[in-house]
Amino acid sequence: MAERRSREVETVILARAVSMVLMVASHARLSQALFEGKYFYGGLDALLALSGMTMATFSFTGTTSDTLRSFLRYGLRLLVPCWTIMVIWDTIVLALGAKNVTLTLYFTELALISNWFTHHRLVLFHVWYPQAMAQMLLFLALIFRLGNLTPMIRCHPVAATATALAVALAMAVVSHALWNTLYLADKLPHLVLWNFMLGWFLWAMMRNGEDGIARKLLLSAVIIGCAVIAYLPTGAEFGPVRAVWFVVIVLPVIWFRTVRLPTFLAQPAVLVAQASFWIFLAHIFLFDLIEVMVKPLGISRGLPLSLLELAVGLAVPILGWAWTTASIRVWYSNGQRGLFPLAFRRWTRWSPQTSPRRPGRKKAWDDTVT
Amino acid sequence: MFRNFNQFANRICVIDPQGRHFSYTEIMASGRAALADLAPAKQLLFIEGRNTPGFVSAYCAALDAGHLVHVFDPDRAQSIQPLIESYSPDALVLTDGEVARLAPVPRNPEPLLIEDDLALLLATSGTTGSRKLVKITEGNIAANTAAIISYLGMTGEDRGITTLKPYYSYGLTVINTHLTAGASLVLSNASVQDSIFWAQATQHGITNFAGVPHSYELLKRMDSRLAALDRLRFATQAGGRLAPDLVRHFARLARQGGWRFFVMYGQTEASPRISYLPPEQAEQFPDAIGLPIPGGRMWLTDDMGHVITDDGVEGELNYAGPNVMAGYCQSAIDLGSGDRPASLRTGDMARRLPNGLYVLAGRKSRFVKPFGRRLNLDDIEAMLASEGIEAAAMASGETLMLFVAGDGATEIALAERLAQHTRLPASVFDVRPIERIPRLGNDKIDRMALQRAIEAVHGTPPAAAQSPSAVLRAVWREFSAIMMGHSGMATSVADIFRATFRHAEVNKTQSFVSLGGDSMSAVTVHLQLEDLIGTLPPDWHERSIAELELMKGSALG
C-alpha cells in the first residue's frame, strides 16, 4: 500500500512545532534578514501556555501528592539536562576568563536565579526559560502543598483555573505598572505565570471533549484578551508582535483538534515537536559554531546565513534526538546490552544489573527529553 | 434463552452417534435434572464442550435457568486451571455421556456478583485457558441467532450435523440456531474425512452443513459426497478466510445442486456473526465477506477514526448491532460490571465495493512495516501456499519470520525470492524450517505457539543481535522508523511503554499517567501509539495498557 500523501496531526503538537520554529527563527535573526525588523518573537510564550495545558492533563488525575510528584518529575526532567550543560559550559567559560563573565553571574546562573539579576547569560540557550519554569513550579508546589488544591481543581476545574488565570494576569499587569523589569527582559516567573495558567484554564474547558461554537468563541475571547492585556498596555518588550504570534499559535488549538497536512509538512512538524527540548538546548550552540566556521569565508549576517542557521538549528538536534532515542530503545530491547552502553560500562565498570537502585526511584531524565 | 422448547415438545432435538433420538422435552428435562442441585441464584458454570446429548441438555438447561456458562475443551483440562483460579466457578459440568453431571470444584466461598443478563463467556480464537474471555448477554445471543436464522431461511424442518466442537463460537451458533428454530441436530464426532460422517449425514437426511476453511479444502476432493445429500438446502462457511477459488467452486456446486452456499464472517466479540455473503453473489465476488447481518451495521474508518464514505478506500472495519459483546473479563471481579462497547473495531482492514459488499484486506495486526514498507503477513502466506509451500509468517520486531513446513524451498533461496517480490533486503526475512505448522482445533495456525518459539529463539522480547554491527543496524532501522513516523520495533502498547518508562515488566493495568508519564514524553508516546492503534481517545493517557491493546484489534472468532 502506498504511503499516504497527507496525514492528520493533532493541533497541539503542530502548535508546539510552530513555537519552536518561531523561536529558532527569532534567534537566527531571520526576521531582520527578511524585513529589517524583529517580527519573529514569542515562541516560548506560546510554548509556556501549551506546556501548562499538557501538564494539567497529567497532573490533576490523582491527589495533591500525585500533583506534587508530577511537578517534581517535570521539573527534574527539564532542569537536570539544562543544569548539566550549564555546569560544564559555564565552568569552561569562567576558566577561560571570557569577557563579561563574573562570579556573580556564574553562581546565580547555576543557582537558577540569574533571571532576577540580569538578562545576560553564560550558557548558550535561553536559561531564563528553565529558571522561570523552576521558580514557577516551586511556587505552585508550595501553594498546592499548603492549600491541598488538587481536590478543588478536580471538583471545580473551570472555576479554580479561571481564578488562577485572573490572579496571575493581575499579578503581571500590576507588576509591570509598579516595577520596570525591561532590564531583566521581563523574564520573571510572576510575569509569565499567566501563560501557564491560561494553559490550565484551556485544559479545564476542553477536557471533556465538548467543542460547541459558543465554548470556542468564549475561549478565543479569553486568549485574545489575555494576550492584549499582558502584552499591549504593559509596555512588554515586542508586545504587539508577541500578542499576534501568541494568538496565531494558541487559537487553532481551541478550534481544531487535528489538522490535515501534506506528509512533507506533517512529518517534519511532528519531529520538531518531539525534539523540541533538544532544539531548545542545542540551537544557539550550533549558531555559534556556524558563525565561527563561516567567518573565514567572509560570509556576514544576512538571509543566507539566517536560513542556514534555521535549518541546522532544527535539523541537527532532531537527528541527535532521533539517534539517541533509537539507541536507547535498542539498548533496552536488547536486555540492556549493546554497543552504546557497552563502551560506557567497560569504561566505568558499571552494570545496570549490579548498581544499587532505591526501590520506587525512577531516573529523572531519559532519551525522550524534548 | 431456549424458552420456546415447550412449543417444540416432542419434536426431535438431537440424534446421538448411536442414532438415538432425543426430543426437546427430554433434552430439557435431562438438563434440568442434572443441574437440580445448583442454587437457584445465578451461577457460573464451566461445561465440558462435547457433541453429546449430555452437553446439549446441560447447556440448554443452564441458559434457560439464567446461569452464566463457559464451555471449555475437555481434552485440555489442565489449561482450564488458570480460569478456575481467576473466575471461581460454582460448578463444573461433565458431559461425556447421555446425561450431564455436576462435579465439585474448589472455589472461593464468597458469592460471585454477576450481571443479570450475562449468559456466555467465550474464549477468543486460539486462547483456550487464557484468562481473557468475552462476555455475551442473552440479548446478544438472541439477536445473533435470530439474524442467522433469518438470512439462512432456517426452519423447524431443518436438520444439521455437528462438524465443530461447541467450545468454539461457530460450533455454538450451530446449536443455538437449530434449537431456536425448532430444528434438529445430528451429534457427530467424526471428521468430514471419515466415511462414518457421511453415513450419518445421509442416513439422517441432513439439510445443512457448517464448515471451516479446512473442511472445504478437504471437501473439494469429495464433491460426490455433497451431491449424495439429496436433502441439502444450504451450507455455511466461517471461522476464517476461504480461498476465493474454493468459494467460487462451492458456489457453483451449490447452484448446480439446487442448494445455497453462505460465506460468513464474524468475531467472537460479535456473538459471533457479523456479515454474510448472499449466495447469488458468491461466484462473482468470491473474496467478499458480504453484507451486515440483519440488525447490524458496518462501516470503515481511517487511521484517525474518521468514517470513510468512499467506495474502494481501505480502512478498519467497524460493526455495531445488538450482538456486540458486553465487554471483556479477566477475572470474577469483571463479571459484576464493566463498560459495554457500543460498537466493535474488528481489527480487520477492508474496503467497500460499489454494490455495498465488503472485502477484507487483512488483519491490521498482521501488517508489518520494515523500512516503512507495509507488508501483509497473510498475503505472504497465501503467496507461498499458492506455490505449494506451507508456511506461517510472524512479525519479530522489524524482521519477518517465516516458519516453513516440510520440504519447502531452501531458506536462503526463499528469503531472496521474497526480497525480490517485496523489494526489501533479504535480511528482513528470517526463514526457519519446521516439521509441522502448529494448528488449533479449528485448523487455524496456532500463532501463540509460534510466538513462544520466536521468544525462545530471540529472548523476550525479540531483541537485536549481540554484535556491534548488528546493534548498529538495529539502531539505524529504529532511527529510520522514528524519522519516517513509524512505531519502529514496538509491536505492542506494552513495548512502547516499556521503552519509555524503562520498567523491566510493565503491568498491563497501568496507564501512561500512573507510570509517571508527563508532557515531556507524551508527544512521542502519543505518536507511537497512533501509528500502532490509530486514532486515540482524548483520555488515552489514563487508559490502561490492556485497554489500549484492545483498541489495537482482537483475534477472529
User: Any idea what the CATH number is for the domain that residue B356 is in?
Assistant: 3.40.50.12780
Would you say the C-alpha torsion B451, B457, B463, B469 has a positive or negative sign?
A: negative
Residues B428 and B530 placed together within one structural domain of the fold:
no
Q: How far is CA B419 from the centre of its chain?
A: 31
A222 close to A75: Cβ distance less than 8 angstroms = no
Residues of A whose CB is below 8 A from B397: 333
Torsion angle of the four alpha carbons A23, A26, A28, A34, in this order, in degrees rounded to the nearest 10: 140
Residues of B whose CB is below 8 A from A370: 520-521, 523-524
Residues of B whose CB is below 8 A from A55: 518-519
Residues of A whose CB is below 8 A from B519: 51, 54-55, 57-58, 74
Contact B484 A267 (CB under 8 A): yes
A203, A267, A274: which to substitute to probe chain B, counting the most B Cβ within 10 Å? A274
Which CATH number do you get for residue B533?
Answer: 1.10.1200
Contact B488 A326 (CB under 8 A): yes
**Tens digits of residue pLDDT in A281-338:** 999 999 999 999 998 888 888 899 999 999 999 999 999 999 999 998 888 776 554 4
In chain B, which residue's Cα lies nearest the Cα of A71? B518
Contact B482 A363 (CB under 8 A): no
Residues of B whose CB is below 8 A from A361: none
Alpha helices in A11-63 (DSSP H): 11-27, 30-35, 43-59
B209 close to B197: Cβ distance less than 8 angstroms = no
Whether B557 is covered by a domain: the verdict is no
Domain boundary, last residue among B443, B458, B473: B458
Residues B253 and B398 placed together within one structural domain of the fold:
no
pLDDT at position B505: 56
Full 3-state SS string of B186-253:
ECCCCCCCCHHHHHHHHHCCCCEEEECHHHHHHHHHHHHHHHCCCCCCEEEECCCCCCHHHHHHHHHH
Residues of B whose CB is below 8 A from A7: 303, 485
**Tens digits of residue pLDDT in B21-58:** 999 999 999 999 999 998 888 999 999 999 999 999 99
B313, B374, B377, B475: which to substitute to probe chain A, counting the most A Cβ within 10 Å? B475
**Tens digits of residue pLDDT in B417-447:** 888 877 777 777 888 888 888 877 666 788 7
Q: CB-based contact (8 Å) between B472 and chain A?
A: yes
Give the mean model confidence (pLDDT) for residues B396-408. 73
- Kindly indicate the confidence band of residue B487, based on its pLDDT and cuts at 50, 70 and 90: low
* Structure-model confidence comparison of residues B136 and B517, the more confident one: B136
Candidates A118, A80, A88, A82; CA nearest to A102 is A118
Q: CB-based contact (8 Å) between B104 and chain A?
A: no
Residues B326 and B437 placed together within one structural domain of the fold:
no
In chain A, which residue's Cα lies nearest the Cα of B499? A329
* Structure-model confidence comparison of residues B97 and B137, the more confident one: B137
pLDDT for B334 beyond 90: no
B82 close to B58: Cβ distance less than 8 angstroms = no
Q: CB-based contact (8 Å) between B99 and chain A?
A: no
Contact A16 B372 (CB under 8 A): no
Please state the domain count of chain B. 3
Residues B499 and B533 placed together within one structural domain of the fold:
yes
Q: CB-based contact (8 Å) between B63 and chain A?
A: no
Give the mean model confidence (pLDDT) for residues B57-71. 95
Judge residue A354's burial from the number of C-beta atoms within 10 Å of its C-beta, 0-12 exposed, 13-18 middle, 19 or more buried: exposed
Pick from B468, B475, B516: CB nearest A73 = B516
Which CATH number do you get for residue B403?
Answer: 3.30.300.30
Residues B440 and B494 placed together within one structural domain of the fold:
no
Q: Residues of chain B with pLDDT > 90: what percent?
A: 38
Closest CA–CA distance from residue B93 to any residue of chain A (Å): 45
Pick from B459, B466, B520: CB nearest A74 = B520
Pick from B468, B483, B495: CB nearest A322 = B483
Question: What domain range includes position B109?
Answer: 7-361
The tally of CA atoms less than 13 A away on the side-chain side of residue B422 is 27
Whether B481 is covered by a domain: the verdict is no
Q: CB-based contact (8 Å) between B423 and chain A?
A: no
Whether B463 is covered by a domain: the verdict is no
Closest CA–CA distance from residue A178 to any residue of chain B (Å): 35
Whether B426 is covered by a domain: the verdict is yes
Residues B182 and B127 placed together within one structural domain of the fold:
yes
Pick from A51, A61, A326: CB nearest B479 = A326
Q: CB-based contact (8 Å) between B523 and chain A?
A: yes
Give the residue carrying C-alpha cell 484486506.
B361
Domain boundary, last residue among B315, B332, B361: B361
Q: CB-based contact (8 Å) between B307 and chain A?
A: no
pLDDT for B1 beyond 80: no
Q: CB-based contact (8 Å) between B504 and chain A?
A: no
**DSSP assignment letter at B92:** E
**Tens digits of residue pLDDT in B285-299:** 999 999 999 999 999
pLDDT for B531 beyond 90: no
> How far apart, in whole angstroms, are the C-alpha atoms of residue A289 and residue A271?
23
pLDDT at position A344: 43
- Kindly indicate the confidence band of residue A208, based on its pLDDT and cuts at 50, 70 and 90: low
Q: CB-based contact (8 Å) between B538 and chain A?
A: yes
- Sheet containing B184-186, strands listed edge to edge, beginning at the edge strand earlier in sequence: B21-23, B12-15, B184-186, B159-161
Give the mean model confidence (pLDDT) for residues A181-190. 87
Residues B492 and B415 placed together within one structural domain of the fold:
no
Contact A333 B488 (CB under 8 A): no
pLDDT at position B508: 72
Give the mean model confidence (pLDDT) for residues B366-376. 66
Candidates B520, B507, B506, B517; CA nearest to B540 is B517
Residues B251 and B316 placed together within one structural domain of the fold:
yes
* Cross-strand bridge partners of residue B185: B14, B160
Residues B357 and B452 placed together within one structural domain of the fold:
no
pLDDT at position B373: 61
Please report the residues numbered 426 through 465 in chain B whose beta carbons come closer than 8 angstroms to any beta carbon of chain A: 459, 461-464
Torsion angle of the four alpha carbons A339, A344, A347, A353, in this order, in degrees rounded to the nearest 10: -100
Give the mean model confidence (pLDDT) for residues B345-359. 92
Contact B521 A70 (CB under 8 A): no
pLDDT at position B132: 80
Candidates B429, B512, B227, B350; CA nearest to A59 is B512
pLDDT for A226 beyond 80: yes
**Tens digits of residue pLDDT in B195-223:** 889 999 999 999 999 998 888 888 887 77
Residues B99 and B195 placed together within one structural domain of the fold:
yes
Whether B476 is covered by a domain: the verdict is no
